[in-house]
Chains A and B, each alone.
Chain A
Amino acid sequence: MPEFGITAYGAYVPRLRIDRKIIAEAHKWMAPSLKGLAKGSRAFPSWDEDSITMAVEASRDALVGQGISQLKGLHLASTTAPYSDLQASAIVAGALRAPSQLNSSDSGNSQRAGTSALLQTLKAGDAALIVASDAPVAKAASTQEMTYGAGAAAFTVGSGNVIAKLLGSGSVTDVFVDHFRAADQDYDYFWEERWVRDEGYAKIAPAAIKAALADAKLSIADINHFVMPSLLRAAADAVAKKVKFEGVVAPGLDENVGYAGAAHALLMLANTLESAKPGERILLVGFGQGADALVLEVTPAISALPKRRGVSGCVADAVATDSYLRMLSFYNGIDLEWGMRSEKNAKTQLTEQYRSSEQLEGFVAGECSACGTVQFPQLPKCVKCTAPRSQFKPRPLVDEKAEVLTSTADWLSYYPAPPMYVGFVQFDNGARLIMEMVDVGPAGVDRGAPLRMVYRIKEKDRVRGYNRYFWKTTPVTAG
């Protein structure tokens, strides 16, 4: 039987970053102690990003250099999926143009959701994509507002070209309520940190680790990388010390990402895999109502993995922002006056959305087989030679090279991140259309600037609670 395991990893962190000093400064009148946490910067999702859009971006990174047709499953873990009843993984599958004969599923409800999903998939033995994506939201002036970030990590599992294999695992389930968030609440409710650290992390995680090492028939001395996310500073070091680990404790990505909820363990794993050497063993721990521990071994195939963005690429790909209120507005922490223009009806016609799903989900242009013109949208007849659409070949634009032809910064339209940059995007393959340009830094965009495509929320229907997704562009070079 061929070896089964992790075959690739990918990552995404929102480009937008804010210096924690700016957040602390905004609250110093009532919470001066936040200054103690004011080191580095944190990532935050733009108004048009959520766990679905971040999952798509991380998955695209994981899929670099491989197809998607082999996938039998697509599983998404998140505690901030936008819908209670509408599967996020199915929306992700649509954007990725995954095969329709696919078992998709969502999980969440715990900070451990990411590691549990990875573990289940590794044990199940089917070729699958698992992605953990989270954008935890914290109340203004809370500790978590300083420490939280956002991001997504994706892994493909399968046979052949395995870069890391599972040697053993252990899980513990324990209703230790360090924090919770009711289904109808916006924010987490936290108990005292010292109790969480001493009674929670320090006791529950070691039990899972012990079971995993026993399962793998290894001792802690056989482990090279200890990967455990934590909401609390230094909790990972404390657990590592407790289990007598003497190797490298993986960095928590506090410096410029922040804690990415249920995605954080897998984001740290992706980061560790970027520099891990063949033969090295990784102990991955996920904590929440118990703990998961996975022992993984890196294989020689990792050196042949095609180059990808990874966590380091995400960290470097930053757009610095300078307004605390912008971040607060993006996660609905403040109700700003957007004027009458924002009253526009944003209802999505679900019939039309389904009818045009191929074009809209996967951003699929048509290439006329009669004259070769690549065109989006695909209308009934070729824009150049009027041949019928039945003669078009699908040409997704998602990964095509493109640049700015014309653009402007629109201050008049209602747009949650003004100004709206909009202009003509010229693709190297001849396609052209007018698109939104997002995560544009203070210098704006210029003609000829290279662009890449990103999956985003096109419009939020705040009356009915429905997000309409589509593709936008962003400058290849951030900031």
Chain B
Amino acid sequence: MASGIKDKVAILGMGCSRFGERWDAGGPELMAESFDEALADAGIERSQIEAAWLGSCFDSVNIGNSAIPASTALRLDGIPFSRMENMCATGTEALRGAAYAVAAGAVDIAVAIGVEKLKDTGYGGLPPPFKGTFNDMWMPGFSAPAGFAQLADGYRAKYGTSREDLKKAIAHVSWKSHQNGVHSPKAHFRKAVPMETIMNAPMISDPLGLFDCSGVSDGSACAIVTTPEIAKALGKKDIVTIKALQLSISSGKETTMSDWDGSYVQNTRNAAKRAYAEAGISKPRDQVNLTEVHDCFSITELVTMEDLFLSDDGSAVTDVLDGVFDRDGAMPCQIDGGLKCFGHPIGASGLRMAYEIYSQLLGRAGERQLKSPSIGLTHNLGGVPYQGIAAISILGLK
């Protein structure tokens, strides 16, 4: 039985660019911004980096294929540099590549960098995805919110939740993230928004209105990882280690068979169980101090609270409305504003979440600092809820 990577990999340094509509910066500039911060934080020379993983998703705009756009932007010469793409789990996948290389003893120091330059499309929202030559022949060409809106329908049917109650709860999800985004200097949206505005916003994909959808942003985030021993030898006192890194991907059961009822995301449940086991967490509600989850749409965050076993099945609406996941609640979620307000440059998002947990664990989160957290969790959901990729990382102080 494999022992997992708990405490085998330490985060030596992290960086995160300012997210948002970065009319001033292309992909290379965004990568340089997060990398320079991470390198300074790590306190190492770039010549000490032995391997690197780039996460970047879209290829219709953005930086182009392969890791070459990153190796040239960062002038990392002659080392192994790989590109990862796994939809919205891309950033966490980059971290997983670097962490596994260190855990395996293949290298001592590795870099994970994620980037997405989306605001060169000329319009809001994501570019229509290419789903493969065969799938495009039969699969409807719907938008991302339309894919996630199916969850709302499934959830309401299963628990008999009224349209109004669910709308109120998902509006609270976004309201809370806007409250939090105010205190994130690097976030895309830093304005509190009244509930009334959220509730009455134009419909994007029923029941998801404009404020139920996350920001489409430019940005980059970077992590430099090593072993805890090397981190210590390099003079780090408080050491943040990776407690778990887990992924789960659909085989098509939810979309093709009749069992799934549309109210939950099986992949998140699979990945969460494995991550808690790898991290040795038996009571997530008591042991996880904060979460950064994939709130691409408000309904996703609500359902994710149940899928991460932080709410009982059918209780997320009540828990959300009771403020359990607000900044002053029992389990703050999206303390930096989340995808909703910090922004969602796909390839960078997983690493941005890790950046926030890392900052909180080290007490560097400024105005939004929580009181001495020791365990944080990140969660990404790539693809669509019923045929996708869930990625979870758990970080903590060693």
Contact = CB atoms under 8 A, between A and B. Distances in A.
Given A376-B256, A411-B203, A423 B150 contact: yes
Interface stretch (B102-110, B134-142, B177-185, B311-319): B134-142
Interface in A416-459: 419-420, 422-424, 426, 430-436, 444, 447, 458-459
Interface string B106-141: 000000000000000111010010000111111111
Contact of B145 (A349, A407, A410): A410
Given A340-B123, A409-B205, A356 B258 contact: no
24 contacts: A349-B133, A352-B134, A353-B137, A359-B138, A360-B138, A376-B256, A383-B251, A409-B206, A410-B204, A411-B202, A412-B204, A413-B128, A413-B141, A413-B143, A415-B141, A420-B142, A423-B150, A423-B153, A424-B255, A424-B386, A430-B258, A434-B150, A459-B136, A468-B137
B133 A408 contact: no
Contacts of B134: 352, 356, 377
A418 to B, nearest CB: 11
A352 B137 contact: yes
Contacts of B262: 405-406, 424
A340 B127 CA distance: 10
B149 A408 contact: yes
A133 to B, nearest CB: 23
B124 to A, nearest CB: 9
Interface in B150-179: 150-154, 157
A408 B256 contact: no
A341 interface: yes
Contacts of B123: 339-341
B138 A470 contact: yes
Contacts of B125: 341, 412
* Interface size of B as a range: 35 or more
Contacts of B202: 411
B257 A410 contact: no
Contacts of B146: 408, 410, 412-413, 420, 422
A406 B258 contact: no
Given A353-B137, A410-B142, A411-B203, A383 B252 contact: yes
A217 interface: no
Contacts of B203: 409, 411
A375 B253 CA distance: 10
Interface in A345-401: 348-349, 352-353, 356, 359-360, 373, 375-377, 379, 383-384
Given A341-B128, A432-B257, A412 B137 contact: no
A426 B258 contact: yes
A290 B66 CA distance: 67
A344 interface: yes
Nearest to B206: A409
Given A413-B141, A434-B140, 10 more contacts: A339-B123, A352-B137, A373-B257, A406-B150, A407-B153, A410-B143, A422-B142, A423-B153, A434-B255, A459-B141
A420 B140 contact: yes
Contacts of B206: 408-409, 419, 444
Interface of B: 121-123, 125, 128, 133-143, 145-146, 149-154, 157, 202-208, 251-253, 255-258, 262, 386
Contacts of B257: 373, 375, 383-384, 430, 432
A434 B252 CA distance: 12
A349 B154 CA distance: 34
Nearest to B157: A447
Contacts of A435: 140
B53 to A, nearest CB: 29
A341 B141 CA distance: 11
Nearest to B154: A406
A331 interface: no
Contacts of B135: 377
Contacts of A340: 121-123
Contacts of A359: 138
Interface of A is mostly: mixed
Contacts of A420: 140, 142, 146
Contacts of A373: 257
Contacts of B138: 359-360, 377, 458, 470-471
A433 B255 contact: yes
A406 B137 contact: no
Contact of A406 (B136, B142, B153, B256): B153
A25 B328 CA distance: 59
Contacts of A375: 256-257
B186 to A, nearest CB: 27
B251 to A, nearest CB: 7
Given A356-B137, A383-B252, A434-B140, A411 B204 contact: yes
Contact of A379 (B142, B151, B205, B252): B252
Contact of B256 (A349, A419, A433): A433
A414 interface: yes
Contacts of B143: 410, 412-413
A205 B258 CA distance: 59
B140 A436 contact: yes
A441 to B, nearest CB: 15
Contacts of B154: 405-406
A424 B252 CA distance: 13
Max chain B Cβ within 10 angstroms of own Cβ: one of A341, A344, A408, A424: A408
Contacts of A470: 137-138
What are the 3 A-B residue pairs with the smallest beta carbon separation, nearest first? A408-B149, A410-B146, A406-B153
B341 to A, nearest CB: 20
Contacts of A360: 137-138
B150 A432 contact: no
Max chain A Cβ within 10 angstroms of own Cβ: one of B140, B141, B150: B140
B141 A352 contact: no
A109 B180 CA distance: 67
Contacts of B251: 383
A412 B207 CA distance: 13
Contacts of A376: 256
Nearest to A437: B140
A211 to B, nearest CB: 49
Contacts of A458: 137-138
A434 B141 CA distance: 11
Contacts of A406: 150-151, 153-154, 157, 262
A412 B210 CA distance: 10
A433 B257 CA distance: 8
A353 B136 CA distance: 10
